[in-house]
């Protein structure tokens, strides 16, 4: 089939929007960004808590997260507009049985140039009287991390892509991939096939069905993730950063003013759903549980009122790490999906390194492991923290 585009990217979440931008920046002639919804970040990215932290146990992820923090903090220099990053710092409560590992991992982080500090929980509580330190092993504090507005960040990439000459088509579902022999040569749209030199599957939880359409295996589950927004009584002492509470398996993020986002963290039940048919509103008992867990640890949250709750999807792979890059034996096809509930922060850097791989054929050795080839090779990632904590 004749190529109409050099590259077609399916999906305009944070992964698709950012890789499309980097490809244009690297001088790729014609790039088409396809999105079935009304605009960038209209799906899971738009519902993301968008907490930006670096505390990963895998050095590759810590390296990428550090680069992501640096990029998000200076996004105006890159894209000409602010991506909505709040560099507040980030706080994590670690249970006693991982305290030793946290000390070990923080040394790895410092070797990568990440500013990280560890505190005895009782010492920390003296300066932060909102904390109940009982049962906390150690407090990890990252100076340069924070949280972002995921829609603003994604729109900044998508708009910069279009400004650089890229073509974005919204409300345009990709119905399938065109496969000829061992190559992917285009996509199927409602008005017929469109040829491409390369197709990037950045379709989030729908990436699996898109890949399977072309007989490409994608071991991935779509699981429902609920977040809630709460109104806290004014004037109470509260954190100034997002908080991951690994002791009580819950997380908290400032929303501005007296509003706070709360969610349940790993470990918890992960319920697989049909990405085209799942409950979009929160379950009452789960909302109450999220707030109870956080309020035990941060008592000023007690009495918070539920403003809203919603559900979106994690696209969870076998090892909670994304599939990124080419696969052996399939020409013209690249994975960029399987964020497993933690890809917002790192997506722009992962997308940049994927663009280098596609355009220049250059890839760092550590990055190669992201390829779906790791499944057949039995070379899955091994992490220490579990689930989407990486
Ligand atoms: C509630 C929640 C909280 C989270 N919190 C955090 C966090 O604090 N920090 C963090 O780093 N990460 C977090 N994550 C994870 C992070 O948000 C995701 O990993 C990331 O946004 C995934 O982006 P994506 O572009 O891969 O997928 P998506 O955002 O799902 O985008 C895929 C896009 O592809 C489109 N699409 C699918 N199929 C087709 C098709 N056939 N044709 C055309 N378009 C198609 C979809 O409409 C969608 O817009 C959270 C996720 C959720 C759901």
Strands (E), 173-322: 176-180, 183-189, 192-201, 220-231, 243-245, 250-256, 259-264, 305-317
The answer to whether residue 2 scores a pLDDT higher than 90 is no
For residue range 301-351, what is the model confidence (pLDDT) as tens digits? 999 999 999 999 999 999 999 999 999 999 999 999 999 999 999 999 999
The answer to whether residue 243 scores a pLDDT higher than 90 is yes
Q: Mean of the pLDDT values across residues 99-114?
A: 96
Residues in the chain: 390
Instruction: Provide the β-strand partners of residue 327.
Output: 330
**200 touches ligand 1 (CB under 6 Å):** no
Q: Which of 69, 196, 203 to mutate to test the pocket of ligand 1 (most atoms within 8 A of CB)?
A: 203
* Distance set, CA 308 to CA 2, 139, 167, 288, 305 (Å): 49, 30, 35, 12, 9
Mean pLDDT in residue range 154-173: 98
CA distance 251 to 239: 12
Using 50, 70 and 90 to split pLDDT, how confident is the model at 94?
Answer: very high
Residue pair 323/218 in contact by the 8 Å Cβ criterion: yes
Which of 14, 37, 48, 202 has most ligand 1 atoms within 8 Å of its beta carbon, as the pocket-test mutant?
48
Any ligand 1 atom below 6 A from CB of 59: no
Locate tokens 């790490």: which residue? 321
pLDDT in tens, 3-37: 799 999 999 999 999 999 999 999 999 999 999 99
Domain 87-145+222-316 in this protein, CATH class: alpha beta
Our mutation pick for probing the ligand 1 site, out of 151, 187, 341, counting the most ligand atoms within 8 A of Cβ, is 341
- The helix (run of H) or strand (run of E) holding residue 376 is helix 373-377
Q: Supply 266's token pair.
A: 């790993």
Instruction: Give 45 Cα–ligand 1 centroid separation in angstroms.
Output: 4
In this predicted model, what pLDDT tens digit does every residue of 78-93 receive, in sequence order? 999 999 999 999 999 9
CA dist 268 to 14, 189, 223, 265, Å? Answer: 26, 39, 12, 7
- Whole-number Cα distances in Å, 381 to 128, 156, 347: 36, 31, 18
Ligand 1 site, residue 246, Cβ cutoff 6 A: no
Dist CA 376 CA 379 (whole Å):
8
Question: Which residues have a Cβ under 8 Å from the Cβ of 74 and sit 6 or more positions away?
Answer: none
d(CA 154, CA 308): 23
Task: Decide if pLDDT at 146 tops 80.
Answer: yes
Asked if residue 102 lies in contact with residue 137, where contact means CB atoms within 8 angstroms, the answer is: yes
**pTM of the predicted protein model:** 0.98
Among 153, 154, 93, residue whose Cα is nearest residue 128 = 93
Q: Taking 90 as the threshold, does the pLDDT of residue 1 lie above it?
A: no
Residue 12: its pLDDT value, please?
99
pLDDT band at 154 (very low <50, low <70, confident <90, very high): very high
Please give the CATH superfamily to which domain 2-48+151-219+319-389 belongs: FAD/NAD(P)-binding domain (3.50.50.60)
User: Residue 183: its pLDDT value, please?
Assistant: 98
Do 2-48+151-219+319-389 and 87-145+222-316 show the same overall fold? no
Averaged pLDDT, 105-129: 98
The protein residue whose alpha carbon is closest to atom 13 in ligand 1 is 342
The full set of domain ranges for the chain reads 2-48+151-219+319-389, 87-145+222-316
Both tokens of residue 120? 């005895």
CA gap 375, 278 in Å, rounded: 28
């Amino acid at each position: 089939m004749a190529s109409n585009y050099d590259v077609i990217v399916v999906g305009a979440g944070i992964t698709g929007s950012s890789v499309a931008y980097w490809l244009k920046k690297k001088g790729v002639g014609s790039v088409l960004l396809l999105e079935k919804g009304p605009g960038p970040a209209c799906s899971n990215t738009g519902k993301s808590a968008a907490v930006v932290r670096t505390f990963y146990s895998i050095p590759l992820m810590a390296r990428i997260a550090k680069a992501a923090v640096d990029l998000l903090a200076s996004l105006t220099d890159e894209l000409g507009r602010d991506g909505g990053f709040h560099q507040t710092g980030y706080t994590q409560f670690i249970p006693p049985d991982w305290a030793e590992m946290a000390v070990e991992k923080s040394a790895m982080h410092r070797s990568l140039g990440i500013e990280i500090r560890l505190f005895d929980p009782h010492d920390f509580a003296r300066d932060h009287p909102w904390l109940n330190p009982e049962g906390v092993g150690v407090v990890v504090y990252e100076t340069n991390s924070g949280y972002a507005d995921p829609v603003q960040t994604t729109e900044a990439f998508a708009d910069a892509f279009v400004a650089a000459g890229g073509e974005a088509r919204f409300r345009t579902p990709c119905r399938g991939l065109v496969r000829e022999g061992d190559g992917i040569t285009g996509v199927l749209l409602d008005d017929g096939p469109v040829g491409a030199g390369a197709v990037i599957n950045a379709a989030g939880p729908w990436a699996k069905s898109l890949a399977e359409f072309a007989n490409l295996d994608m071991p991935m589950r779509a699981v429902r993730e609920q977040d809630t927004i709460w109104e806290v009584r004014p004037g109470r002492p509260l954190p100034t950063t997002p908080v991951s509470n690994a002791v009580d398996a819950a997380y908290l993020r400032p929303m501005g003013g007296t509003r706070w986002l709360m969610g349940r963290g790993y470990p918890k039940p992960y319920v697989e759903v049909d990405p085209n048919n799942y409950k979009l509103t929160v379950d009452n008992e789960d909302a109450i549980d999220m707030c109870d867990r956080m309020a035990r640890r941060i008592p000023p949250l007690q009495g918070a009122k539920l403003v809203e709750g919603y559900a979106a999807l994690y696209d969870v792979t076998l090892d909670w790490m994304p599939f990124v890059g080419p696969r052996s034996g399939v020409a013209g096809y690249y994975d960029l999906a399987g964020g497993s509930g933690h890809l917002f922060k790192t997506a722009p850097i992962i997308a940049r390194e994927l663009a280098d791989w596609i355009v220049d054929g250059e890839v760092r050795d550590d990055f190669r492991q992201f390829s779906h080839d790791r499944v057949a090779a039995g070379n899955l990632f091994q992490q220490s923290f579990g689930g989407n904590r990486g």
